[in-house]
Structure 1
């Protein structure tokens, strides 16, 4: 499944339906990005892979400049983002486009940010070169991406537990665009160097994330590889999968909370001359 079809379809709709839960789950990363652009004095910020717009709106609200934009390939997610911005009274421009290809205004942004949105490009060097052209001289880049799959066992608990019961479960393939495509820091450095960014810095960020236990079944039945196929399963299979997968999450459940550590990279670079 290509990325546009995926995020404009089942996967994107799942994020729209779960946006309140996901906003809270990933708020620590949003706060990290907002603090960086505020400290850098950026006035025009581009949020890449902005999805339903939580980070974009948070940045625009903090800066109060009206110069923030979000770009995403999924129009349904952008519709949710626009509704969020309108509801909050925050001026943001949302662009329906592939950031790898879009003809941004050259030098139009002082900062380029992303929360888990840059690992899905089919040609990441081309994408970051295009983002470099969109950045003014001296602009900053900060992205948060996932580290190695082995360091994030929570993220694959559902698919590992469900695999014996769901034979057509999508398989994550090394090297393909996806959640863990930027796990190798040397690969990321090479991509940014070839894309025209300088001063690349990559450091590990480990964040404690909390999910209400009441939302756990909704989380694993709608999101990720399992969520893509489970909606097409018969009721008997679905019930078996839910019971099996829920039990697999027991190590992360502490009373009314589900707790896990998100092992990520904070990627920083600049658009020097």
Structure 2
């Protein structure tokens, strides 16, 4: 492309039906979960930072590209994409008002001017047709209540020959960070159902064949799903990580439902387990994701 895109494609003012099944996600990300991410933004970013170079490599963003960042959160990937698309523009979309406010603040603070942020649900958001060259997402695609609708809507927003690149978690059993946490506390609390492929949640896209079927059904071609394994940095030491984990909404609920003694033992067991993973740079555990790429037909 040679055209200089200096303004963001804007949503069209047409009517669209809200996705009722997304109400729970929107409530969480505009409530405690969203505020927790803002408070601990640097830690959350450190946890996922190693996946960003893989995502950007796969996206192959050109200097004048128009980029759509789905589930942009506080905008780390949006700003990274904007630096690659120096003469283009990046639109970050997320459900969370608190995270979008943080994203705008950071873009202004860092002087990244070729970005914009919109609150929206990618399943139904009225993106302009064929308005983007690339769509990206770092671990933000797994929570769709209606994945076929979401991927169809994203495909519509991409130009012919447009590119899609996103990461999503592989199954829970191969993610050391989650296995370590659950194994430590399992004797003392009742573990939640984290869902799996096809079920709403962090692991809904864990099956590569399902990913291929969803994207193919949405009209994408040249679909590729490749494994990516990276360590994620959880914190400085066991005490630091346990304090953070105990502040997570899901873990707070589990501990609140346990007896006081079982809650204490669960955190003590987690501290002991994490201490065994202490390294010179803190505590890092393995994470396994899929890197997914596809194109819209020419």
TM-score of the superposed pair, with normalisation by structure 1: 0.89
Residue 128 of structure 1: which of 151, 154, 162 is its match? Answer: 151
Q: What's the CA shift string for 1:180-221, capped at 9, x where partnerless?
A: 111100000000001111110001111133333344124322
CA RMSD of superposed structures (Å): 2.4
Query: Secondary structure of 1:226's partner?
Result: helix
User: 5+ residue gaps in structure 1?
Assistant: none
Report the count of equivalent residues: 272
Are the aligned partners of 1:55 and 1:115 in contact in 2 as well (CA < 8 Å)?
Answer: yes
User: Are residues 1:60 and 2:82 paired?
Assistant: yes
Are the aligned partners of 2:133 and 2:159 in contact in 1 as well (CA < 8 Å)?
Answer: yes
What is the match of residue 220 of structure 2? 197
What is the match of residue 158 of structure 1? 181
Are the aligned partners of 2:223 and 2:292 in contact in 1 as well (CA < 8 Å)?
Answer: yes
Greater alpha carbon shift after TM alignment, 260-269 vs 169-178? 169-178
Greater alpha carbon shift after TM alignment, 53-62 vs 107-116? 53-62
Query: Secondary structure of 1:2's partner?
Result: helix
- Structure 1 residues 222 and 261: alpha-carbon distance in aligned structure 2, compared to 1, 3 A threshold: same
Are the aligned partners of 1:4 and 1:73 in contact in 2 as well (CA < 8 Å)?
Answer: yes
Query: Secondary structure of 1:241's partner?
Result: helix
What is the match of residue 6 of structure 1? 28
- Structure 1 residues 232 and 109: alpha-carbon distance in aligned structure 2, compared to 1, 3 A threshold: farther
Higher Rg of the two aligned structures: 2
Q: What's the CA shift string for 1:236-264, capped at 9, x where partnerless?
A: 66544322222232443235521222111
What is the match of residue 137 of structure 1? 160
What is the match of residue 295 of structure 2? 270
Are the aligned partners of 1:144 and 1:267 in contact in 2 as well (CA < 8 Å)?
Answer: yes
What is the match of residue 128 of structure 2? 105
Q: Distance in 1 between the 2:193 and 2:100 partners?
A: 27
- Structure 1 residues 253 and 242: alpha-carbon distance in aligned structure 2, compared to 1, 3 A threshold: same
Q: Distance in 2 between the 1:144 and 1:227 partners?
A: 28
What is the match of residue 231 of structure 2? 208
What is the match of residue 242 of structure 2? 217
TM-score of the superposed pair, with normalisation by structure 2: 0.82
User: 5+ residue gaps in structure 2?
Assistant: 1-22
Q: Distance in 1 between the 2:118 and 2:259 partners?
A: 38
What is the match of residue 34 of structure 1? 56
Q: Distance in 2 between the 1:101 and 1:272 partners?
A: 21
Greater alpha carbon shift after TM alignment, 19-28 vs 253-262? 253-262
Shift of 1:229: 5.1
Greater alpha carbon shift after TM alignment, 134-143 vs 35-44? 35-44
- Structure 1 residues 218 and 82: alpha-carbon distance in aligned structure 2, compared to 1, 3 A threshold: farther
Q: Distance in 1 between the 2:33 and 2:262 partners?
A: 21
Q: Distance in 2 between the 1:132 and 1:177 partners?
A: 21
